[in-house]
Structure 1
């Protein structure tokens, strides 16, 4: 039925061929239909240019996106994408490789077919078709300024499909478009979309036949982030006799002013448009990624591929690594001769721990300074002494800061603290993704890079390619991380086997794993000062392998890590960037298994939701040879005591198969070395 509906809705006037557009009836300026095929020919995009610009896509003959209108509505009343007059159509086939920086792969293969439609009115639309993704963007070439009243971006589906929907819920000060961007997925049909609710990206839709579609965006420079909602008729669109369920893009209006609300900087009023920008520019890519198997989503690179290339020529000073972090564990170190807290002695202790375990950094979180003035340092902190002590031990110091303070003070703060020896800033409570907020993240990245400072964005929306464009941005939250489970009794194990297939496709994800107090469903309770995590110890270990985070936190306190030295040694052995990524198995929301290579060593992580299960790992990803694996697996009593685990050393070789038993909320982690 899906295919029949799709063919009816997408009926074209002529047969077209891969990468070759047909402009009908063939004269410049006339409306027409165009077709672009992926390099392997399996994914086909159809473009209808006429009274309304529309696109649709099918893969293996199955509808993926039904005809969906796109356009840029200008404040002047003109709409780019309406009454389209094509002046020129150009095709291009690209097949190349590039080297990402601080990523899960050392090489990304970039192959696609591209169609550029140049239109009367000094604008263009570019479509790129990959074997597993489709992207399009508008490009304008006009003088002066453009005011974008709205952007029409639609994603119409053939049926009332099941989806993983990250609904916005925690409005800051009760205002929409202001939130922490931390949310669980509502696993519902599109028809069950909550009334008057918006969803963040990325969002996953199950279109049947084992195919998943993930909606994303990339190269979001000087432009608001996209939310999704059902279309104006709450999903029902009639095109002849076909019925489609449609999602539409929604954007935060341009903020006209803002005021402090605690440490949030919240707009008081917004304009009747979404962006005020230069007339000659590339607009963001609108993207769908498609998988035939869920596991394929674990190695997707589409946001990296579409991001603007690096702005930095020298990246030698940008060092990824692991971080001893203070806030989650509430500075709760013990068995010391000083009062633990936000003071010099405590941070020297964190530095000693980091050095002893070969970590690279510590974070000094909220409390080292005034939240609104970064030059007002706590009287209990001798910052220069801490920085110098860290330098002696080979440990860098990263400082927490509010976005409000950084925006006001970065021109003086960055050079000042860089001169003291600070290595970077963790910038928190952005809590917006309107045009002003997004533009600010680019400016901060640029000015931090000028001072050779790293940036870790928190309280922010998902990444959209900025870590490629400005590689000193090596951390991004935009996820309901471990910190939430200091106070929230929610389904953590199901979430952690969902986000690698969805949120992680957007880019690095500072989830901050590492809890050493592990709980079953029955034993978990929220505790702020000595927090625990749902799921087993081995699930926490596996998260260090599975979750992409060039700047990876050890969230628990040094005292407990030293008591659990066997696990700490394993965590410290795991790199934060890799040379190769191989998805092994998985199903969204249920389980996954993933392998990474760094040099000649391999790291394999597997995790499950609350269902105990047994999975088989095929070791054919290993090169020829013999290997020894250090394995951490759930103990036989992990279903009763989630801290129960067993460490063992096994020998394996290419082509061998490993049977893994995962406890409820369980995990499995291995470091594999050649012998």
Structure 2
């Protein structure tokens, strides 16, 4: 339902100055609950600005808007031609998600602007939600602006004070970074904080979402929504106090965005909450995307999977048959037919529907150490020791499926033209999901030693959209690794199940690993954009040394924290990542088997960025609830009440808890399983070991 109401005020203010009188036009927009306020200003020079406040706290002060185009400057000389205002309050059903029904409730203002000398038209659309503010630019169809190139987006986020921020480095190509917390003025400081060697030229720049703690009762996150034909936005530290600026990932010739009217930018989003958990519960990013593009979604499903994956990272087996990354192989090839059948048997035995098999196709032998190449893979020819037809026939006999893996090494020139044939092949084989990886430089030419594009630029943004649309033609679901960031587009394309885009579990297998606080930062940063493929569920924490390292590798969590990740690392398609032999006979595996993948409702019970996080989720179609709680390197006791449970019902709580002496560093694999009956009137204390967690299944007793 849409209705038009008076939600803005336009004021002409004359301010007496020493030499002249300044004329400003101020336009205000408030959220339905009147707590969030966006103010739009056109000053006497026709320059566009905005500011944002929550209740009486202004946290973004006068910040610029506009563009530099290749042939025009859209920076000043604007006047407001007219405005439109409305309120929208609707609900929509998710195909899958953290809740079944989403409310889309906001006030909207559209300002129609005209540049005085050029007569160029530009609209700014603003939406004020109870959980944040969003705005986007719209270039209407017009005779004097048809094809154009954006050379700079002038959007600023000028913060009132040097608040504490949670961020990671941006470099146009990779989101797999550690998160830091620092004052805004230190974002991207490559002297104080470590960054990837060779990327120093892009210091002072952060990826989004970047989350900022304004005070004890106000936390916000800067991101974007509906990124489908534009360059990914980074946040540039301007080194001007605590001012951040939109910095778009360029084409290699320096163009930022290539467009033609009519055209619109992604939404620039400012999620707002009085506590960190409110950011997690916000649906604003999804709401800013278009509705579901598919009439029939019966073929889209959620599930858990296992696979030939972790064994490759820990060095038990190899991706390739003969040479891997330019070196001879001294271990077995993992993706052979016998090993695939072993995993299929395990999946069938334990009710797991899909088996991911990496390294099944020709091309891995030819990869260089830098994971680059041109024309290496054809993505349809099996290795000599793997028979894909035999394996897929075996999966049908066992009632499971193979999950296809395509490592593109970002060879888009070859992969994109082949997608139609490849996706038809998958459909014919009974495959439902493709995991697509994008390691390496985009369209790298091995002879010329050059690459053509960045991962986070407009070229690749367009590719990711083409890929998921093409997959839908064959009723296939997609999981991406090395992707463009999630910006809520799973609402429009619900076959886009999860994206990696994070320093994930595999870093524990061959690097210094992810620190204990990593898991309690991601829900309030990366996962705000959309579902994550973190690959949880590792039970063997001590991984030993490798032949190329004197340092032993390990996972820096307890087993119960890995269980809790199935709730806290939200994905509709989570992996049980460990080796099957580490699950057999382990009582903790029962929780992985039981935990659902689709939800009617989700609630955050507590959370502090970098410290702890507890979430509960209701299984879709039942009154059963599941809880996941995790901590950083410190042990904690967290008191909760069970009022989220249905009243007048009794539940059996199966509790997977860290044992008394559990500790991520010294004793991570001990836990206890207990059961007790509870109701919504009960309270509980969650005892989390250092680096630990707790997972609980609340099942209704009928």
Same fold by TM (over 0.5)? yes
**Secondary structure of the equivalent of 2:154?**
strand
Deviation at 1:162, TM superposition (A): 1.3
Instruction: Kindly report which structure 2 residues correspond to 1:566-605, keeping only aligned pairs within 5 A, or say none.
Output: 566-598=587-619, 599-605=622-628
- Return the match for 1:382 from 383, 387, 391: 387
- Return the match for 1:635 from 659, 667, 671: 659
- Return the match for 2:152 from 136, 150, 153: 150
Q: TM-score, normalised by structure 1?
A: 0.87
1:336-379 superposed Cα distances (whole Å, 9 cap, x missing partner): xx977221111111111111111121111134332521123211
- Return the match for 1:97 from 91, 95, 119: 91
Q: Does 1:553 align with 2:541?
A: no
* Cα distance in 2 between the residues matched to 1:360 and 1:607: 27
- Return the match for 2:165 from 163, 166, 172: 163
Q: Which residue of 2 aligns with 1:416?
A: 425
Q: Which residue of 1 aligns with 2:495?
A: 472
* Cα distance in 2 between the residues matched to 1:56 and 1:546: 33
Q: Which residue of 1 aligns with 2:55?
A: 60
**Secondary structure of the equivalent of 2:141?**
strand
* Cα distance in 2 between the residues matched to 1:204 and 1:280: 32
1:58-117 superposed Cα distances (whole Å, 9 cap, x missing partner): 1120112111111122211231x5322211111111111111222111011111111001
Q: Which residue of 2 aligns with 1:484?
A: 507
**Secondary structure of the equivalent of 2:574?**
strand
8 Å CA contact retained: 1:548, 1:576 = no
- Return the match for 2:522 from 473, 477, 499: 499
* Cα distance in 2 between the residues matched to 1:428 and 1:382: 22
Q: Does 1:40 align with 2:33?
A: yes
* Cα distance in 2 between the residues matched to 1:344 and 1:380: 6
Deviation at 1:491, TM superposition (A): 4.6
1:183-212 superposed Cα distances (whole Å, 9 cap, x missing partner): 111111122231533211110111114311
Q: Does 1:49 align with 2:58?
A: no
User: Given the superposition, is the C-alpha separation of residues 73 and 332 from structure 1 closer, same or farther in structure 2, using an over 3 Å criterion?
Assistant: same
- Return the match for 1:252 from 206, 229, 249: 249
Q: Which residue of 2 aligns with 1:267?
A: none
Q: Which residue of 1 aligns with 2:436?
A: 427
8 Å CA contact retained: 2:461, 2:484 = no
Instruction: Structure 2: state its 5+ residue gaps.
Output: 15-22, 115-119, 191-202, 318-330, 365-376, 441-454
8 Å CA contact retained: 1:460, 1:478 = yes
* Cα distance in 1 between the residues matched to 2:467 and 2:218: 39
* Cα distance in 2 between the residues matched to 1:340 and 1:444: 29
User: Given the superposition, is the C-alpha separation of residues 87 and 527 from structure 1 closer, same or farther in structure 2, using an over 3 Å criterion?
Assistant: farther
Instruction: Kindly report which structure 2 residues correspond to 1:146-545, keeping only aligned pairs within 5 A, or say none.
Output: 146-168=148-170, 176-179=171-174, 181-193=175-187, 194=189, 196-231=203-238, 234-236=239-241, 245-254=242-251, 270-330=252-312, 332=316, 341-370=334-363, 372-401=377-406, 402=408, 403-404=410-411, 405-429=414-438, 432-518=455-541, 532-545=554-567
8 Å CA contact retained: 2:507, 2:513 = no
- Return the match for 1:660 from 678, 681, 686: 686
What's the C-alpha RMSD, in Å, of the aligned pairs?
A: 2.3
Deviation at 1:526, TM superposition (A): 7.9
* Cα distance in 1 between the residues matched to 2:332 and 2:228: 46
Q: Does 1:647 align with 2:636?
A: no
* Cα distance in 1 between the residues matched to 2:690 and 2:616: 21
* Cα distance in 2 between the residues matched to 1:526 and 1:630: 38
Deviation at 1:416, TM superposition (A): 2.4
8 Å CA contact retained: 1:18, 1:37 = no
**Secondary structure of the equivalent of 1:350?**
helix
Q: Which residue of 1 aligns with 2:373?
A: none
Q: Which residue of 2 aligns with 1:4?
A: none
* Cα distance in 2 between the residues matched to 1:31 and 1:367: 64
* Cα distance in 1 between the residues matched to 2:385 and 2:568: 38
**Secondary structure of the equivalent of 1:555?**
coil
* Cα distance in 1 between the residues matched to 2:216 and 2:660: 37
8 Å CA contact retained: 1:118, 1:125 = yes
User: Given the superposition, is the C-alpha separation of residues 650 and 152 from structure 1 closer, same or farther in structure 2, using an over 3 Å criterion?
Assistant: same
Deviation at 1:577, TM superposition (A): 2.0
Q: Does 1:107 align with 2:133?
A: no
Range with greater deviation from structure 2 (524-533 or 115-124) = 524-533
Instruction: Kindly report which structure 2 residues correspond to 1:70-81, keeping only aligned pairs within 5 A, or say none.
Output: 70-79=65-74
